[in-house]
Structure 1
Amino acid sequence: MDTLYLLQHRRSNKKFGDIAPNTVQLENIIKAALRAPDHGKMKPYHFVVIEKSGMPKLRECLAAAAVEFNMDEKNAAKADKLSNQAPMVIGIVAKIDHDSPKVPAWEQIVTAGCATYAMQLAANAQGFETVWISKKWVEGAKLREMFGCRTGDKVIGLLLVGSPKEDDNISLARETESTEGFVSVIC
């Protein structure tokens, strides 16, 4: 698939088939993340890959977050759905150096976000659907513990990855977005 076409047409999809990236495909996904823009070359992130056999542990963490944050029954039920939705989940942790005199914490978080997006694109380019999940789920104490978070770290999200459910092609937007209203030009 043409790179510009993918960049202009990609979209998230929450429907997955049963196939997860293999070892080589996962390595490609992680290598793409390691090339994200990174002021100070800090690599302020860590990735936690959860394969199908690890989904019960993820479910426990998400269920604990539902209790911890007093989520309603509808949101609490999502713990089961999220932990069974895709054959692979990648947790992304921003490993923030709050004492860095050169790179502020917000910039380190942006770098981890860029790494996450690079992983989405690398997965899409290899024929996998992706969706990036955040909200309160990623702030739960049990999930943070499972991911090895330190006090100042920030879980950026959960990247769900799997084969397309409907056919062999990933879901793409039919049209590109209009740039109108998003750009100012200073001459």
Structure 2
Amino acid sequence: MDFTTAVNDIIRDRRSIYTNMFSGEVVDDAIIETMLENANWAPNHKHTEPWRFVVFKGEGIKKLGEFQANFYKENNPDTFDENKYDKLYSKPLECSHVIAIGMKKSNMVPEVEEVCATACAVQNMLLTAAANKIGCYWSTGGITFQPKAKSFFGLGDEDQLLGFLYIGMPKSDKWPAGRRKPIDEKVKWVVE
């Protein structure tokens, strides 16, 4: 297989593999490190490199679950839901690794460009996971957009927490099939 075909196949083979599809097997740290290194090569305007990541594994995953569950409880006394609390605590525990995704604001370019650059970094991680047949998905649920949660992840007031990559080994060797509507329904060509 030539390089171009391999790249096309990996892009088209990337899937969100959710925690209920994880086997419990631990992903090799070398693959996580490769995901992070590939993230670091994302395009970004003025070389601001705005992506920031915090990797949780082992007991660190439990610390993340405790933090987000307790954060939810402390900040929602009037609408507290025990089921949501339990889910915030237990969801990370289903993973081999969890990577918190942060965007460090530089003031050199518009904020949307920093968010887009960070999303490109995450896409590089997702593609690397897919190439290694590692289960992975990006979630923006839970405490993601809570300003008071940022400091736990080393982010300042001007920065953004953009979610979490949940990572684990898939239970099955069978990779899910993808679905997309035809590209010609989403593109307009202007030629004259």
Same fold flag (TM > 0.5)? yes
Q: What is the TM-score when the length of structure 2 is the normalising length?
A: 0.84
Q: What is the TM-score when the length of structure 1 is the normalising length?
A: 0.86
> 1:175 Cα deviation (Å)?
5.0
Q: How many residues of Structure 1 are paired with residues of Structure 2 in the alignment?
A: 182
**One-letter amino acid of the counterpart of residue 66, structure 2:** E
Of 174-183 and 148-157, more deviation after overlay is shown by 174-183
Equivalent position to 1:77, from 82, 86, 91: 86
Equivalent position to 1:64, from 62, 70, 94: 70
- Gaps of at least 5 residues in structure 1 are none
* Cα shift readout 1:9-54 (whole Å, capped 9, x = no counterpart): 3220112122333232122101110111111111111111000221
> 1:136 Cα deviation (Å)?
4.2
> Could you tell me how far apart the structure 2 residues matched to 1:35 and 1:130 are?
19
- The structure that has the greater radius of gyration is 2
> 1:168 Cα deviation (Å)?
3.3
Native 8 Å contact 1:49 1:90 kept in 2:
yes
The corresponding residue for 2:52 is 46
Equivalent position to 2:42, from 21, 32, 36: 36
The corresponding residue for 2:173 is 168
The corresponding residue for 2:122 is 116
Q: Secondary structure at the match of 2:144?
A: helix
* Cα shift readout 1:74-133 (whole Å, capped 9, x = no counterpart): 433321332212110011110111x32xx1111001111111111111111112010111
Equivalent position to 1:12, from 9, 12, 16: 16
Native 8 Å contact 1:130 1:160 kept in 2:
yes
The corresponding residue for 1:125 is 131
Q: How does 1:87-98 map to 2 (within 5 A)?
A: 87-97=96-106
Equivalent position to 1:179, from 170, 173, 183: 183
